[in-house]
Chain A
Amino acid sequence: MIEATNLTKLFRDKKRGEVRAADGISFRVAPGEIYGLLGANGAGKTTTLRLLATLLKPTAGTAVIDGHDVVREPEKVRAHVGFLAASTALYGRLTAREMIAYFGRLNGLAESEIDARIRRLADDLDMHEFLDRRCEKFSTGMKQKTSIARTLVHDPAVMIFDEPTLGLDVMTARAIVRFVRDCRARGKTVIYSTHVMSEVEKLCDRVGIIHDGRLLAEGTVPELLARAGETDLEEAFVKLSGIKEAA
């Protein structure tokens, strides 16, 4: 379960002054649900997800992740979260097995448990062939599988995905989408940020439209289309977010 209440994050920027990257964002995601955070570049998606993953501390407001407060218990929150983003890379000089085991240890798992988890994840993600090879030599697909295994090694209840298909080829992106669906099937609480409309339509049970750090609209895809009076999600997104199109 994710429960964000008035999440706010202010940054100081030398040129722009005070920037409200997240401005009073509140939403709720239930277990077994995929919540899509839809926004343009710089809308505040990454900041919101980093606040949920406790990589950043909120200036105001808070969020409760699987019963733990992000401000008061950040370490416990991280123990219940799997965070996958385009910016979370792998250690190139470690093998896939060592990478997964490292995060198992960081999550406090016993060695026997780590071995068992690695075996299961390697079966599920078809990783046996490259499990003992160094990550620096991996293809994009292998890297994504290893990253997924890294996020799942401690079997978190909450999964946070920050534009996970960014820059990936079609087949790898499809594998990620399949994996996200699988997380929902296993009863995990999933939050998924993207600016790709087709992914939102395919995956998300509910969607929040974010712009300039504010959550402007929320609902299922049909609800958002109805509210905007549009039949196309992209048009609905432009209308609801109030983005002015370039001439």
Chain B
Amino acid sequence: MSWHGITTVYVKELRDLLRDKRTVRSMIIIPVVVMPALTFGVGKIATVLVSKARAETPTVMVLGGADSPGVVARLRSEAKIRLVPEAADWKQEVSDKRIRAAVKLPEHFEADLRTGAALPVVIYDYQGELKSGFAAGEIEKFFHGLSTQTAKERLAEHGLPATLVQPFETRRENVAPPEKVGGNALGGIVPYMIIILCFMGAVYPALDLTAGEKERGTMETLLCSPVSRVDIVLGKFLMVLTSSLSAMALSLLSMAASFFLLGSLIAGGARAAAKAASGPLPMIDPLGIFGVLGMVLPVAVLFSAVIFTVALFAKSFKEAQSYVQPMVFIVIMPAIVGMLPGIDLNARLALVPILNLSLVCKEMLSGVWHWGYIGVIFGSTCLYAAAALALAVRMFKREDVIFRA
């Protein structure tokens, strides 16, 4: 092994790939521009749409209620809903979104309310339709208030305290520090994104430097040089790793920047939500971020070596793509499982690649450092990565792989 050979191959591959428009697209433009634009763009659109839907005063139709003028009048005085006159085709109107919901008051509702014999109030909404759901929520809130107030009035009539039906209240208070709240909320998604970005960043250069070179006929040219096969593999592999880590780092930086730039809406909303819930604003433990990046390194090596080896078998770039595409699911599945609630790190899961990273990163981002597991996961992933790299070298030395006709 010679560093001169490795660096010569690496520098050439770097220069070559940076001149390739497809690489620039997959390594820089997609992670830096497209991914955050999609992630935050969709998020922003969703936020705007939800806010718009919330801001709308929904139109609600009261069915019946002629004998309950008091309730209808109170309902009409609600600022958050607008009543419209009853119509025979009310169902069609809800379906056509001309009105958002309808509420059916039973006959003699107001009178029965006083005697305690009132039948249920039925709310009609269009399930799955956001604005209809908001309207139904407002109606529910109104009748819940009416129900509570009626109960209190009745108790008062009998000289009984209101605490008779509600002897005590319960209250929830958060004791988790902000970074733990953030770790739990974002701990699943951040490692998932890092894993996917690392994988995607390695795909294009791995294919180009193996099957692509074979297809273009430059592999044979390179093999004529006196540099050892090991040096060639390591030089090329380092390029794939560079691409994997750069794509991941650039994406994270770009997402962080987008988050802060576009964050007025999102962060503002989160702050308001946290304030409303009397809770802390979610944060991520900064040390956790460094921990995650450290743990990702052997996984990036593993991805780069595995994709490199698989692509080496192909005769053309297209063939290599057909080999590598199914691997995306193998990577995504454990990353998704790691995001699921209720799956906790244990000794057995600590040895399952990708899933172990996803689980330990979730903990690190919430400030929990299980050093034993961290050591096992880092060590086992390094071993898997070393084995994958050794396999890549071995395959590169095989004539039936390199000169596969």
Do A108 and B4 touch across chains, with their CB atoms under 8 A apart?
yes
Query: Which residues does B use to contact A, with CB under 8 Å?
Result: 4-5, 8-9, 12, 15-16, 19-20, 216-218, 220-228, 399-400, 403
* Cβ contacts A to B, 20 pairs, < 8 Å: A11-B400, A12-B400, A56-B399, A57-B399, A76-B226, A79-B226, A88-B217, A88-B224, A90-B221, A91-B16, A91-B221, A93-B19, A94-B12, A94-B16, A98-B15, A103-B225, A105-B8, A106-B226, A150-B221, A151-B224
Question: How many Å lie between the Cα of A78 and that of B223 in the bound state?
Answer: 9
How would residues 120 to 160 of chain A score, 1 for a CB under 8 Å from any chain B CB and 0 otherwise? 00000000000000000000000000000011000000000
Q: Are B227 and A90 in contact (CB under 8 A)?
A: no
Once bound together, how far apart are the Cα atoms of A76 and B399, in whole Å? 19
Contact of A87 with B by CB under 8 A: yes
Q: Give the total of A residues in contact with B, Cβ under 8 Å.
A: 31
**Residue from B16, B216, B225 within 8 A of A106 (CB atoms):** B225
8 Å CB contact of A78 from B4, B9, B226: B226
Q: Which residues of B contact A236 (CB under 8 A)?
A: none
- Contact A89–B223 (Cβ < 8 Å): no
- 1/0 per residue, CB under 8 A from B, across A51-88: the answer is 00101110000000000000000011011010101011
- Select which of B15, B220, B399 is within 8 A of A85 by beta carbon: B220
In the bound complex, CA of A12 to CA of B398 (Å): 13
Q: Could you tell me which residues of chain A, from 90 to 107, have a CB within 8 Å of some CB in chain B?
A: 90-94, 98, 102-103, 105-107
Q: Does the CB pair A55–B223 fall under 8 Å? A: yes
What's the least CB distance linking A56 to chain B, in Å?
5
Task: Please determine whether B221 and A106 come into contact, CB atoms closer than 8 angstroms.
Answer: no
Closest to A13 in B: B405
Q: A-B pairs with the 7 shortest C-beta distances?
A: A89-B217, A106-B225, A79-B226, A78-B226, A88-B221, A83-B224, A93-B19
Main secondary structure on chain A at its contact with chain B? mixed
A residues less than 8 Å from B225 (CB atoms): 78, 103, 106-107
Least Cβ distance of A206 to chain B in Å? 24
Chain A residues in 8 Å Cβ range of B223: 55
Q: A56-B403, A81-B224, A106-B5 are in contact. List 9 more A-B contacts (CB 8 A).
A: A75-B228, A76-B226, A78-B224, A78-B225, A78-B226, A90-B218, A92-B216, A93-B16, A94-B12
Question: How far is B224's CA from A81's CA once the two chains are assembled, in angstroms?
Answer: 8
Nearest chain B CB to A57 CB, angstrom units: 7
- Docked pose: A55 CA to B214 CA in angstroms: 14
Taken together as a complex, chains A and B put the C-alpha atoms of A94 and B20 apart, in Å, by: 11
Could you say which of B4, B221, B399 contacts A89, with CB atoms under 8 Å apart? B221
When distances are taken between beta carbons in the complex, the residues of chain B under 8 Å from A85 are: 220
Roughly how many angstroms separate A150 CA and B222 CA in the complex, as a whole number? 11
In the bound complex, do residue A93 and residue B403 qualify as a contact, i.e. CB atoms below 8 Å apart?
no
- Bound-state CA distance A77–B225 (Å) is 10
Distance in angstroms from B17 CB to nearest chain A CB is 8
Alpha-carbon gap, A150 to B20, bound state (A): 22
Cβ of A89: which chain B residues have Cβ within 8 Å of it?
216-218, 220-221
Which residue of A is nearest B216, CB measured?
A: A89
- Residues of B within 8 Å of A76, CB to CB, are 226
Most buried by A among B12, B218, B220, B225: B225
Closest to B222 in A: A106
Report the minimum CB–CB distance from B363 to chain A (whole Å). Answer: 44
CA A156 to CA B276, docked complex, whole Å: 79
A56 partner residues in chain B, CB cutoff 8 A: 399, 403
